[in-house]
Every structure is written in structure tokens, then in C-alpha cells.
Chains A and B, each alone.
Chain A
Amino acid sequence: MECNGCEFHPELHYDREFQIWVRREADGTLTVGMTDISQTIAGKILHVRVRRPGTRRPPGKPVATIESGKWAGPVPNFFDCVIEEANAEVLDNPVLLNTDPYQAWIARVRPVDGPEAALSGFVTGEEARAGYCERARREDIHCRRQPG
């Protein structure tokens, strides 16, 4: 399902601004990635850095940073977590975040207070779809994929 050309996945969880997506894993960890909206805004991503596995990151302190066309910034983090793993493929080839944002996850993290609490401020399903489309329309964001 799309909105202004922006791909959406109802089974994922999203922050209120739809900057990141989060997937619940069976082992209690959470997988984090960038939304189609975020990768479009960022433009072609040239660098990704993920904090070392084992690092604890409180809310507001990013798990990862990206850089595109001289802009650098965090992939925002909203919950207290410990980094378990970075996606090595994405570290080697950051443009995967642009070409396939929902396959190209960035990091797998363990939420300190459990996944339930971590995702309490997130939205999912049809409620998320409505908000996601609303942001794309409000800010006139038309998603586009970079050539690999």
C-alpha cells in the first residue's frame, strides 16, 4: 500500500513522525529501520554508523547516524535500549537504505524495559497508515527510490 508513492507496512510500529519503523522479534529484541519517507527526505545515503553492540542508548541518544550529500544526523531513538547487532550489509552499502528501506534494517536492539513498554508510544496498523499518509501529504513528500 502506498501514499504519495511512499511504501507502508501495517505490521510494523512507527514513531509519531514516521521517521523510523520497528519490528518485534520473537526473542524480545526489536529491529529498527528508516521509513520510505525518511530515506526520501535524506536523499542518497553515503555513510551509516551504528554504535558498538553492547552500548546502552537512552531515549534521545541515537542508535545510528547517517550522512547524505553533506548532511549528517541521527536515526532517532525513542526508547532505552542496548544495541545487539548492526546490519553489516547496510554498513558496507548504505544506499540499500534508499533502495529498499523495509528490507535494509539498521540495527537490532534489546529494549531495557521490554518491547511492550518500548513500543507504548508507537503506532501501528491502520492508525499508523492514516498518520503516515497525512504526514506525506501535509509536507508534500513524494517518495522516490535512488538508483542503487
Chain B
Amino acid sequence: MSATWRLLDTGLRRAAENIALNRALLEAHQAGEAPHTLRFLRFRPSALIGFHQSPRQELHLDACARAGIEVQRRITGGGAIYFDEGQLGWELYLDRRTLGTADMGAIARRICEAAAAGIRRLGVDARFRPRNDIEVDGRKLSGTGGAFDGDSFLYQGTLLLDFDVERMLRVLRIPAEKLSGKAVAGARDRVVSLRELLGEVPPLETVQRHLAEAFAEAFGVTLEPGGLNAAEEARYREALAEIDTPEWVHLRDAPADEAPLLEGVHRARGGLIRAIVWLDEARDHVKQVLITGDFFVQPRRLVADLEAALKDVPRADLRARVEAFFREHEAALLMLEPADFVAALEAALASPTTDEAARP
């Protein structure tokens, strides 16, 4: 007989409640008070930063306030996201012992591959893209991240059912906001929703059923619907009292001008390469890059993969990382060299810091 995991659906909630539930369920699992669980969750409009991020560096807080978007800090790692009723959240609460490995990268991969298999049942070609995304033809459909506590862990992902890119760009302080006009289409090309892929948003029940079946199959378990137990309820109330506060949201609060968005252009033989580099000055790390231009590369998704490979890289390692990327990937570059991408990135890093910290 296969093991039974709980299937928990906590419905549409405020961000603070959803994150307090993350904390409560993970702590209860670690304390042996809660079963292995697959949870589905949805959010009222929220801007969620990663556990170690600073709200002022990641978000346009004025825009969030004006639009009534709740700002919250996740307990999981990774970057800032905009989340609303157009996305479905899925989460697994398990332990390393159950999965038979302590390797966090392998755990993330196994879960993401199961989630991608569930999404494929909807009729789209979803694939895991290391380290943490699920994509369709180079466009991100689901982002993921995790939190651990001793042997227990929580691993969560979003699934874009429907998505408002303009709204995301207004809320998040990301390199894509530097783009305008034609280039915004480039930012839009990096994410995709089920509505865009299928022509309509499939019913929520259908999406949840396929995901649940795929997880059950991948882990060889049976899922049984259930609610929160008393221990989890008590931990939830305690967690909410800490998390539903400005102190929690601003736990880390570095100013925006310590993370400038830098822009550079390199004119290569094969076309113009524009690079936007988001730098964390305090750590001398590149947080993220965005590469656009009128150059030609094959496969088309190569630029998205290169951007993914250049997330959170020490500034000093940037060149080596680009070179390693092109060694590891089959690429057809038309009158372009890997060095041209390096040149565009270096042009951005050399540009003066004229960031608009106070930009709405």
C-alpha cells in the first residue's frame, strides 16, 4: 500500500496569511505534528520578496500602495514576484529522509520535474529549467523556491494561469522596467501564461487535479484531502502575529540606490547588444541581467538560458560565467562571439550610477 499525503487547499487569502501558513506548516512538520502535504494556495494582489531581500530594492512601494497591493516577505529564498488571482500556488511539505537525498538541488529538480509533468497534462510542453524555473519554449510559466527547517522542507511554485505583465512591471523593480516600446515585448516574451498558451484559462479544479495526480504519481503516494490540525492552527496564529507586521516586511531594508540598474550597449558585427545589469553593490554581486538587441542567435531560447545562468553571480566571475555558458551550450551565433556579450555586460557595469531610486 502506498503512503498517504494530505491534500490541503487553503483557497484565496491575503499574503500575510499565506506566508504565516508557510511558517506554521513547516514548523509543525519539523516538530512531527503534521503529515507530508501538497498544498494549493492563491493570493489577493501581492508583491512578495524573497526571504533575504529588501523591499525598497525590489519593489516600487509607492506603486504598490496606490494600487492596494500587499507587500510581504516570504520565508523561502529567491526573487521578488507579483502574485494575484491569476496565479495558482502549489507547495510540498516533506522531509529529506522521505526523498532519500540530502542534496537540495536534486530535491528541487525532482519536484520541478513532477510539477512540469502535471502541467504537460494540460496540453502544454512544460519543462524544468535549472535552477528553479518551469518553462515552455524558453518562456517562464512557473517560478519556484524553498525553505528548510532541520530535515523538513517546504518547496513552492507559482503557476501563471493568467498574467498582467504591465502590472508586474509597475510593481517590481527589475531590469525589464528599463525597457520601453518595442523592447517591452521582449520582457513579455520571457514569461507566458496558460491563457496565452491555450487560448483560455483552464478551470482551476482541472489544473489542481492534474498537478495533484502528477505529484502522486512521481512520488508513488495517494493524496487525501484534509484541513489544518489543532497544532497547525495554533502555530498559524502565532506566526501571523509576527508576519502580519511592518517589522517582518522590513526585516532587511537596504536602500534602492545600493542596487542600481545599469545599462550598456555594445555594437557587434552581428548587431547591437543591449545589456541591463542589476548590481548589488554591497555584495558586489550581479543580481540579474537582461539582454536584448537586434542580433541573431539560435536556438531562440538561448538568451533566456544565458540570463538564467547569470543570476546572482559575483561581479568578478561574470566573464568566466559567460564563457562557460557558451562552452556548455550549442549555439549558432551570426557574426557574434561570446566576447560580444561580455562587452555589453561590461559596458553596463562601467556606466555611471544614475539610478532612479525614487522612481514611481
* A interface residue numbers (CB < 8 A to B): 17, 19, 41-43, 46-47, 49, 65, 67-74, 76, 92-93, 139-141
Q: Give the Cβ gap from A9 to chain B, nearest Cβ, in Å.
A: 21
Q: Give the Cβ gap from B31 to chain A, nearest Cβ, in Å.
A: 9
A49 and B104 in contact, given A69-B131, A71-B145 (Cβ under 8 angstroms): no
A17 and B104 in contact, given A65-B52, A72-B51 (Cβ under 8 angstroms): no
Instruction: Report the nearest B residue to A141, measured CB to CB.
Output: B102
- Could you say which residues of chain B place their CB within 8 Å of the CB of A41? 102-104
- Could you say which residues of chain A place their CB within 8 Å of the CB of B151? 17
* B interface residue numbers (CB < 8 A to A): 50-52, 75-78, 96, 101-105, 108, 131-132, 144-151, 153, 252, 282-283, 285, 312
A69 and B51 in contact, given A17-B150, A49-B252, A76-B150 (Cβ under 8 angstroms): no
Most buried by A among B52, B78, B131: B52
Check A47–B105 contact: CB distance below 8 A: no
Check A72–B52 contact: CB distance below 8 A: yes
Check A47–B104 contact: CB distance below 8 A: no
- Could you say which residues of chain A place their CB within 8 Å of the CB of B312? 46
- Could you say which residues of chain A place their CB within 8 Å of the CB of B51? 47, 65, 67, 72
Q: Give the Cβ gap from B65 to chain A, nearest Cβ, in Å.
A: 26
Most buried by B among A41, A43, A67, A73: A73
Check B52–A70 contact: CB distance below 8 A: no
**6 smallest beta-carbon distances between A and B, as pairs:** A47-B52, A72-B77, A73-B148, A72-B51, A70-B145, A70-B78
Check A72–B75 contact: CB distance below 8 A: yes
Check A92–B283 contact: CB distance below 8 A: yes
* A57 CA to B50 CA, complexed, in Å: 23
Check B108–A70 contact: CB distance below 8 A: yes
Check A68–B252 contact: CB distance below 8 A: no
Instruction: Report the nearest A residue to B130, measured CB to CB.
Output: A69
Q: Give the Cβ gap from A39 to chain B, nearest Cβ, in Å.
A: 12
Check B105–A43 contact: CB distance below 8 A: yes
- Could you say which residues of chain A place their CB within 8 Å of the CB of B103? 41
Q: Give the Cβ gap from B113 to chain A, nearest Cβ, in Å.
A: 16
Per a CB cutoff under 8 Å, which of A65, A72, A76, A140 touches B146?
A72
Q: Give the Cβ gap from B111 to chain A, nearest Cβ, in Å.
A: 12
* A47 CA to B150 CA, complexed, in Å: 18
A71 and B52 in contact, given A41-B102, A46-B312 (Cβ under 8 angstroms): no
Instruction: Report the nearest A residue to B151, measured CB to CB.
Output: A17
Check A69–B104 contact: CB distance below 8 A: yes
Check B252–A71 contact: CB distance below 8 A: no
Check B52–A67 contact: CB distance below 8 A: yes
- Could you say which residues of chain A place their CB within 8 Å of the CB of B50? 67, 70, 72
Q: Give the Cβ gap from B318 to chain A, nearest Cβ, in Å.
A: 15
* A140 CA to B99 CA, complexed, in Å: 13
A68 and B77 in contact, given A47-B52, A92-B283 (Cβ under 8 angstroms): yes
* A17 CA to B77 CA, complexed, in Å: 23
- Could you say which residues of chain A place their CB within 8 Å of the CB of B76? 70-72
- Could you say which residues of chain B place their CB within 8 Å of the CB of A141? 102
* A47 CA to B52 CA, complexed, in Å: 7
Check A42–B104 contact: CB distance below 8 A: yes
- Could you say which residues of chain A place their CB within 8 Å of the CB of B101? 139-140
List 25 A-B residue pairs with CB atoms under 8 Å apart, sorted by A's residue number: A41-B104, A43-B104, A46-B285, A49-B52, A49-B252, A65-B51, A65-B52, A67-B50, A68-B104, A69-B77, A69-B104, A69-B105, A69-B108, A69-B132, A70-B78, A70-B131, A70-B144, A71-B77, A71-B108, A71-B148, A71-B153, A72-B75, A73-B153, A92-B283, A141-B102
Q: Give the Cβ gap from A54 to chain B, nearest Cβ, in Å.
A: 16
Given contacts A41-B102, A70-B50, A71-B104, 15 further A-B contacts (CB under 8 A): A46-B285, A47-B52, A47-B77, A65-B52, A67-B51, A70-B77, A70-B78, A70-B108, A70-B132, A70-B145, A72-B52, A72-B147, A73-B147, A73-B148, A93-B283
